[in-house]
Amino acid sequence: MSANEIPTDRSTPARPDVQQSAFLRACRREPVPHTPVWFMRQAGRSLPEYRKVREGIAMLDSCMQPDLVTEITLQPVRRHHVDAAIFFSDIVVPLKAIGIDLDIKPGVGPVIERPIRSRADLDRLRELTPEDVPYVTEAIGLLTAELGATPLIGFAGAPFTLASYLVEGGPSRNHEHTKALMYGDPQLWADLLDRLAAITSAFLKVQIEAGASAVQLFDSWVGALAPVDYRRSVLPASRKVFASVAGYGVPRIHFGVGTGELLHDLGEAGADVVGVDWRVPLDEAARRVGPGKALQGNLDPAVLFAGAEAVAAKTGEVLEAARGLEGHVFNLGHGVLPDTDPDALTRLVADVHERTAR
Ligand code: 1CP
């Protein structure tokens, strides 16, 4: 099957208890027993037990060891009692798996030896097959056996955000090489995003077919674009990704940072749930996104450094703004910051559950 075909009847047999979880119910905009909570970057980052098991193992190597991936994915579920697990991996894992010469440098992020900037470079981006990532299938099999009724979220990087790493050669503040390609050679740019859409679709399918109950597409850096450029140069590729996994019936979440001006267009790409950073209150975000979608978010991750009382007050603001939503998944507005006190996260989960118990 090609990466863009919509499968019709190949969905993984759904575990019924997982299907009734608060997280999946909220994604489907059904009534929930309490507002579900999970945190972007809950696996890794702030947990001492994570640092311990990762000692001496490079980031990308750790993503290829199913036992380790399983342990790291389960750690925040055990500790914080979050309503969903997120698969421990990275958005650049599928690129590494097809032979791109990249590494994740500690304290920096993904770095690519030879950036992708010409038509000849495109040939290095071949399609991804399940055989390229056997460790993902194996780890998800182990995880679904351990997780009981807790859903597992699979994820991938969106075409724009992956392109920004490939074209820049690493993390970038201004994305100038990426934008130069986008404005300067629209056809090459469109072809690059199409290739990345196919790789991302294939990577999401591997995760869903192995047992992931939902997927999130991270377009972390797309907030760098004006709406007109997003619609012209990025939306078509992201739309292909969402369409390619529509037939599985698993909720699809779409997230980016600094996307206040893009929220409506992000929704147009086809997700069931739109992630919102902390800059736009959820009631206003709902107006921008429009009806028929759940929202995810949106406590500022830096608030967790402010002490219990301030955290509780800001949490109350988020929940208040979420009152009228069709569906709400509580999350931070971006990933957990590395120095976050893990106990603050545990308290936050309990607090949201308590305040929203129905
Ligand atoms: O050595 C280390 O521990 C490296 C730190 C680290 C970790 C723990 C990186 C490098 N990636 C990860 C795991 C990771 N990455 C997860 C695990 C599951 C979870 O959420 O708990 C996920 C979902 C990601 C996704 C990811 N990687 C994104 C999207 C999410 C986001 O934060 O916006 C992005 C942009 C990346 C690239 C990346 N990988 C690592 C870093 C430090 C970065 C960001 C670099 C930059 O600032 O550009």
pLDDT band of residue 5 (cuts 50, 70, 90) is very low
In the chain, pLDDT over 70 holds for what percent of residues?
96
**Which pLDDT tens digit goes with each residue over 137-179?**
999 999 999 999 999 999 999 999 999 999 999 999 999 999 9
Centroid of ligand 1 to alpha carbon of 31 (angstroms): 32
Collapsing DSSP to helix, strand or coil, 11 comes out as: coil
Closest C-alpha to ligand 1, atom 35? 220
At 44-90, the pLDDT tens digits run 889 999 999 999 999 999 999 999 999 999 999 999 999 999 999 99
By alpha-carbon position, which residue is closest to atom 34 of ligand 1? 91
Nearest CA to ligand 1 atom 29: 218
Domain 18-356 in CATH 3.20.20.210? The answer is: yes
- Residue 138 to residue 33: CA distance in whole angstroms: 32
Helix and strand totals (H; E) in the chain: 17, 9
Whether residue 40 has its Cβ less than 6 Å from ligand 1: yes
Backbone angle region of 92, left / alpha / beta, with phi > 0 → left and psi within -120 to 50 → alpha: alpha
The CA distance from 129 to 127, in Å, is 7
Kindly report, residue by residue over 230-251, the tens digit of the pLDDT.
999 999 999 999 999 999 999 9
From 15, 28, 41, 347, the catalytic residue: 41
Counting from 1 in the atom list of ligand 1, the atom nearest the Cα of 257 is 33
Please determine, for residue 12, whether its predicted confidence score (pLDDT) is greater than 80.
Answer: no
pLDDT at 16 over 80: no
Give catalytic status of residue 230 as yes or no: no
Please give the pLDDT value at position 126: 97
Report pLDDT for 10: 41
Check pocket membership of 171 for ligand 1, CB cut-off 6 A. Answer: yes
pLDDT tens for 124-144 read 999 999 999 999 999 999 999
45 has catalytic annotation: yes
Confidence at 13, pLDDT banded by 50, 70, 90: low
Q: Using CB atoms within 10 Å of the CB of residue 48, give its burial: 0 to 12 exposed, 13 to 18 middle, 19+ buried.
A: exposed
pLDDT at 351 over 70: yes
